[in-house]
Structure 1
Amino acid sequence: MLLQIRELTKRIGPKTIVDGVTLSMDKGEILGLLGPNGAGKTTTIRMIVGLMARSGGQVQIEGIDPQEQFEQAMKHVGVIVENPDLYKYLSGYDNLIHFSRMTPGIPEGRIREIIALVGLEDRIHEKVAAYSLGMRQRLGLAVALVHKPSLLVLDEPTNGLDPAGIRQLRSHLKQLAHEEGVGIMISSHLMSEMEQMCDRVAILQRGKLVGVQKVGEMRDGDEALVEFEVDQPDLAVQLLQTIMTGHEIKADPPTVQLRLSKASIPEISRRLMEAGIQVYGVNVRKPTLEDKFMEMTGGEAQ
């Protein structure tokens, strides 16, 4: 197991910021941390990488507790907290050389390899002051990865990036995880991006872990929100309430909406038409990560 967290807790005075979080992840997966503002995401990340003392619980990275053996644990970790700290008056290459020297024994070949991995070959010798925000993020990623960590931890890495920059970052992270075997933990407020990027998401609320969801299972589940466009929505609701007991049925003229399996759609359509209700169209909408987030947090805003 790459990362194991057991009963991780942080208290500041009488207030509990993180409350008994237990979570694990393997190499080669991207795990997202989601939660409303103040849910404890950043505090959790800072405790994982040893930047903040924990009040209780355990953290093990490759079997090493960073609170007890910080330097040994950090050999396995790369971290970017929001915008990476870089020397703007130096070139990207000189920045990378400078930070690589903090870990003895990194060969020149690794420097070239990581430059290619983040796609900065054409601009690496320019000063960082001339870089766009997206390029600085890619250079920060190179700095975090140059010592070949097995765990990459990113706190809000998409802040300030335009859609193209976010798309490039997503591509690099997927390659790192699924081709290079790096485990990536990432927090973000952009749920649509997390849905496209992550293998699993862990949802925090008021410091507690309220659930962990596999994104693939969420997409591939049988049940979906189905909208029937009909000519008599009120009558359709009355009929569906009699044949779909226990299902929540909503009218949003000219549609009626309910959750059901795709296999049930032909039968429901047939019953509607037998009752003299014209069905003009059927729209099937799979639940999104935002839907799941709202369900698990009771609608609490990000």
Structure 2
Amino acid sequence: MSSLIVETTGLTKRYKKHEAVNKVDLKVQKGDIYGFLGPNGAGKTTTIRMLLGLIRPTEGEVHLFGENLAENRMSILGKVGSLVETPSYYGHLTGFENLEAMRRLLRVEDPSRIDQVLELVRLTGAKDKAVKDYSLGMKQRLGIAMALLNEPELLILDEPTNGLDPAGIHEIRELIKEMPGKFGMTVLVSSHLLSEVDQIATRVGIIKEGKLIFQDSIEVLRKESRPRLRLVTDSLKQAEKFLRENHYEVMRDGEEALLLTETDMKTSADINRLLVENGFEVCRIEEIKRSLEDIFLELTGKETDSR
């Protein structure tokens, strides 16, 4: 049996001539916290709406828990909880009353489930307060509580930290991190902020202009940001060949320099000496550091939104 909780094949959504989502193949494993990352307008929310059956794909298929969403929509979505964009609530009702209304709508039989989710999202002390008097962070947590009512196996959150202050962001982040370990839940969370995804995700998918341009573990992305040794010599091609013959891992940095993954002082000194002793003129040798943000900007070719 496949361990994939979410799998899309060629998922596409076209509006007239504009392709909002273009042949996206998502793969989310059981127990993942999958960070779905991309600039605003990249196609994240459209993809999520297709995963939840809120809009129909122009092409492609969605499989959740190994089943085709188009063929088994009701039974599949009974195992999914979601918060897409702004949570819906009745402002004049209390947090408890909002959850009671949602419990009846979802046909959750056990009334005590309300107290359980209130405790999970740390709103027990505010359950009798009118939601119109909640802070933005409290409203987001109430939205997540609603998504958790039916004890979902898959939790989908679309930009859950949008507009929150640092304390609110921290609360939501810690809550998401608990889900797989405590409750065996798989989480897909979208964001336009790499710094947020980096702190919670085990796996990352990056979408740009409707296309999935990266999908792998967060460790693979972090590996890309490790420091490298940048080397400029008078004979680049020959130096590259020579270093490979001496068992160094070398790659080109355009037409001007070479990059090596080993950056410790001894390796730098050894390479410098080896090249000079074999007739190469080393013009420059330096350590280059790139942040995860640099990698993200390089992949997406856009500046992230500052919200």
Taking structure 2 as the reference length, the TM-score comes to 0.80
Unpaired runs of at least 5, structure 1 = 228-235, 252-256, 276-281
Question: How do 1:154-169 and structure 2 match up within 5 A?
Answer: 154-169=157-172
Amino acid at match of 1:301: E
Q: Distance in 1 between matches of 2:229 and 2:232?
A: 13
Q: Distance in 1 between matches of 2:269 and 2:234?
A: 11
Cα distance change, pair 10–243 in 1 and its aligned pair in 2 (3 A): same
Question: How do 1:89-168 and structure 2 match up within 5 A?
Answer: 89-168=92-171
Q: Distance in 2 between matches of 1:207 and 1:219?
A: 23
Q: In the alignment, which residue of structure 1 is the partner of 2:62? A: 59
How many percent of aligned residue pairs carry the same amino acid?
37
Question: How do 1:107-256 and structure 2 match up within 5 A?
Answer: 107-219=110-222, 223-225=226-228, 245=240, 247-248=252-253
Amino acid at match of 1:193: E
User: After alignment, is 108-117 or 52-61 more displaced?
Assistant: 108-117
Q: In the alignment, which residue of structure 2 is the partner of 1:232? A: none
Unpaired runs of at least 5, structure 2 = 241-250, 277-285
Number of residue equivalences: 281
Q: Distance in 1 between matches of 2:89 and 2:181?
A: 27
Question: How do 1:1-40 and structure 2 match up within 5 A?
Answer: 1-40=4-43
Q: In the alignment, which residue of structure 2 is the partner of 1:293? A: 296
For residue 204 of structure 1, report the CA deviation from its aligned partner. Answer: 1.3
Give secondary structure in 2 for the equivalent of 1:179.
helix
For residue 38 of structure 1, report the CA deviation from its aligned partner. Answer: 2.8
Q: Distance in 2 between matches of 1:132 and 1:93?
A: 16
For residue 109 of structure 1, report the CA deviation from its aligned partner. Answer: 2.9
For residue 198 of structure 1, report the CA deviation from its aligned partner. Answer: 1.0
For residue 120 of structure 1, report the CA deviation from its aligned partner. Answer: 1.2
Is residue 69 of structure 1 aligned with residue 75 of structure 2? no
Amino acid at match of 2:12: T
Cα distance change, pair 283–119 in 1 and its aligned pair in 2 (3 A): farther
Q: Distance in 2 between matches of 1:189 and 1:69?
A: 31
Q: In the alignment, which residue of structure 2 is the partner of 1:279? A: none
Q: Distance in 2 between matches of 1:258 and 1:83?
A: 48
Q: Distance in 1 between matches of 2:54 and 2:5?
A: 19
Asked if the contact 2:227–2:287 (Cα under 8 Å) also holds between the matched residues in 1, the reply is no
Cα distance change, pair 10–121 in 1 and its aligned pair in 2 (3 A): same
CA RMSD of aligned residues (A): 3.0
Asked if the contact 1:88–1:128 (Cα under 8 Å) also holds between the matched residues in 2, the reply is yes
For residue 21 of structure 1, report the CA deviation from its aligned partner. Answer: 0.9
Q: Deviations over 1:153-192 (max 9, x none)?
A: 1111111101111111010001012321211111111111
